[in-house]
Structure 1
Amino acid sequence: MGFIWALDVALLRRQRATAAAAAGEGAEPPREPALVEFSRSFFPVVLAVLLIRSFLYEPFRIPSSSMMPTLRVGDFIFVSKFSYGLRLPVLNTEILALGRPQRGDVTVFRLPSDPGTNYIKRVVGTPGDVVSMRNKQLMINGEPVPLEFTGEALEVECGGFWFDARVAYETLGGDRHMVFLGEQRDRASPFLDRPVPQGQYLVMGDNRDCSRDGRIIGYIPAENLVGRAVRIWMNWDAEAGGPLWHRIGDRIE
């Protein structure tokens, strides 16, 4: 579309002007081709969308229950691409450092073993942190992360199966969010109880017993980070037969 517009400016428009001059006064000027007119009208819009998606905000859809109750299947979210620095599209080269993930951030990243697949989880460990789990409670550098159980228990879906989960509030990085904690034993992992390597991060889902996260996939390199999830812009719940209006516009914490 942009190529067609540029070709018209550089060559075709001049040819039309020459043809109009040759036809003499009173002749009807040649019309701009429909394809050129279409390209001229829509190319700025397409360019603006591409720039916004590449450098500012990109929409994503939540495909699984691993981040419940913070995010649920059917949520459509905006991800801030510039929160962790501006990167060139395709090349993924950082051109401007603007910030780094903090504990508690909900972040989208490219799966290290399959960069074409995007995951969304919560950052629980930054470079140098030693993250552990003891009886469902996160420990960071030997200090327990504040965890308050509400006394509420729910049946939670996990890949077609259901399990009983306790509802709790966790305070990480100064922000308070809800988590689901099942009755299963703490998941063993070679990526816990050791320092997170420099330039990498450890992530977990809020639905702790139904999440393929850093305990399985390992640490996330900084260059795999896409951005920080900031807001729900739409929700479509297939089981409810439509959107859950109360979720639209919610800030992601």
Structure 2
Amino acid sequence: MDIRHTLKANRGFILFLFSFALLRTAVADWNPIPSASMRPTLLEGDVVLVNRLAYDLKQPLTDIVLLPLGEPQRGDVVTLNSPTDGTRLIKRVLGLPGDRIAMRDDVLILNGRPLAYRDARRRGETLAPGWVVDAVRATEELDGRPHAVQFLPATPARRDMTEITVPPGRYFLLGDNRDNSADSRFIGTVPREKLIGRAHHVLVSADWLGEDGWRLAPRFSRWVSTIL
């Protein structure tokens, strides 16, 4: 059977695969969460849905913006290509172009005003099987959009930052797990074209760390849940 006959016989399936690939690279995507940088909002083993058209229409497989479609908002959870090495990351937008951002003892200061943190509570946080540290979880108030954050007081981290002004066309991003996140404190502000899209739902989730003594144990309570 020659290649032309094979292509003709399977053209419907080939068209489906092409359409599927185009959809994922230009319209919608899903991303597994590999690290703890967004705990407690997102957990390792979550798979999140990403709207690639939330901000820009891009040429597939590139960062080339063809048409701006919307503006990133404070509090959005976004996927991005790291401006330092291209690694796929997921973080929260904290600073917009023109914002003044500083941090003092893990408290974020936005345009000269410290953010409010409420409902703080202590708990044990598993960093690896058998390794549990003290953690503090609280609700951070950001322009009327509350979301959970976590701090690890006993671990080394960058908890202070002198004030910067976010340049035009760039964004300041942080992980919700503030003391365990490689974010704009380390990689700098992120150009808009590096933003891939907005993560809006957890599609499925499974505990692959074995925290409950199981491997790949489904977390059904997190399936199809909204990301706050």
Does residue 169 of structure 2 align to residue 177 of structure 1? no
Alpha-carbon contact 2:102-2:160 (below 8 Å) kept: no
Larger CA deviation: 196-205 vs 157-166: 157-166
Alpha-carbon contact 2:106-2:160 (below 8 Å) kept: no
The CA distance in 1 between the partners of 2:135 and 2:82, in whole Å, is 27
Query: How many corresponding residue pairs?
Result: 218
Structure 1 outlier segments of 4+, above 6 Å: none
Change in CA separation of 1:85 and 1:245 when aligned onto 2, cut-off 3 Å: same
How many angstroms does 1:55 deviate by?
Answer: 2.1
Match of 1:96 among 51, 67, 75: 67
Match of 2:177 among 197, 200, 207: 207
Structure with higher helix content:
1
5+ long unaligned stretches in structure 2 = none
5+ long unaligned stretches in structure 1 = 9-32
TM normalised by structure 1 equals 0.80
Partner of 1:19 in structure 2? none
1:134-173: CA deviation from partner (whole Å, max 9, x where unpaired): 33321100112221033x2112234775431111011223
SS of the residue corresponding to residue 114 of structure 1 reads coil
Q: Compare CA radii of gyration and give the structure with the larger one.
A: 1
Amino acid at match of 1:248: W
How many angstroms does 1:92 deviate by?
Answer: 2.5
1:45-84 matches, within 5 Å, as: 45-84=16-55
Identity %: 36
Structure with higher strand content:
2
The alignment's C-alpha RMSD in Å is 1.9
TM normalised by structure 2 equals 0.88
The CA distance in 1 between the partners of 2:127 and 2:112, in whole Å, is 30
Partner of 2:58 in structure 1? 87
Partner of 1:134 in structure 2? 104
Match of 1:149 among 119, 127, 143: 119
